[in-house]
Amino acid sequence: MISFRGYDDVIKRVYDNNQEHVFASWDRLGPGQRESLLKDLADVDFGLMKKLFTAAGAPSHGSYRPAPFIPLPKTPAEHEKFRKAAALGEELIRGGKIAAFIVAGGQGSRLGYEGPKGKFPVGPVSGKTLFRLHGEKILASGRRYGVAIPWFVMTSHANHRETVEYFESEKYFGLDPRDVFVFPQNMIPSLDEKGRLILESECGVFKNPDGHGGSLSALRTSGALDEMKSRGITVISYFQVDNPLVKIIDPVFIGFHRDAGADISSKALRKAYAEEKVGVFVQYADNTLGIVEYSDMPQEKINERDPGGELLYSSGNPAIHLFGREFIERITSSDLSLPYHTAKKKIAAHGGGEITGYKFEKFVFDALSMTDRNVILEVLREEEFAPVKNASGADSLETCIKLMDGLHRQWLGARGAKISPKTRIVEISPLYALGADDIPAGLALPERESVLLEAEVR
Residues forming contacts to ligand UTP in the complex (CB under 6 A) are 103-111, 117, 154, 156, 185, 209-212, 214, 240-242, 361, 389
DSSP string, 177-205: GGGEEEEE--EEE-EETTS-B-EEETTEE
Q: Can you tell me the distance from the alpha carbon of 350 to that of 371, in angstroms, rounded to the nearest whole number?
A: 42
Q: How far is the CB of 241 from ligand UTP (least distance, A)?
A: 4
Q: Residues with Cβ < 8 Å from 248, sequence gap 6 or more?
A: 100, 134, 137, 138, 141, 237, 239
Q: Is the CB of 109 or the CB of 334 nearer to ligand UTP?
A: 109
| Residue of closest CB approach to ligand UTP | 106
Q: Is the CB of 3 or the CB of 109 nearer to ligand UTP?
A: 109
DSSP string, 85-146: HHHHHHHHHHTT-EEEEEE-----TTTT-SS-GGG-B--TTT--BHHHHHHHHHHHHHHHHT
Q: How far is the CB of 342 from ligand UTP (least distance, A)?
A: 14
Burial class (CB in 10 A: 0-12, 13-18, 19+), 334: exposed
Q: Is the CB of 11 or the CB of 102 nearer to ligand UTP?
A: 102
Q: Is the CB of 200 or the CB of 438 nearer to ligand UTP?
A: 200
Q: Can you tell me the distance from the alpha carbon of 413 to that of 423, in angstroms, rounded to the nearest whole number?
A: 14
Q: How far is the CB of 40 from ligand UTP (least distance, A)?
A: 18
Q: How far is the CB of 297 from ligand UTP (least distance, A)?
A: 18
User: Is the distance from CB of 183 to CB of 227 less than 8 angstroms?
Assistant: no
Q: Is the CB of 108 or the CB of 357 nearer to ligand UTP?
A: 108
- The H-or-E segment that residue 253 falls in is helix 251-260
Q: Can you tell me the distance from the alpha carbon of 135 to that of 140, in angstroms, rounded to the nearest whole number?
A: 9
Q: Is the CB of 96 or the CB of 184 nearer to ligand UTP?
A: 184
Q: How far is the CB of 379 from ligand UTP (least distance, A)?
A: 18
Q: How far is the CB of 389 from ligand UTP (least distance, A)?
A: 6
**Coil, strand, or helix at residue 391?**
coil
Q: Is the CB of 237 or the CB of 423 nearer to ligand UTP?
A: 237
Q: How far is the CB of 170 from ligand UTP (least distance, A)?
A: 18
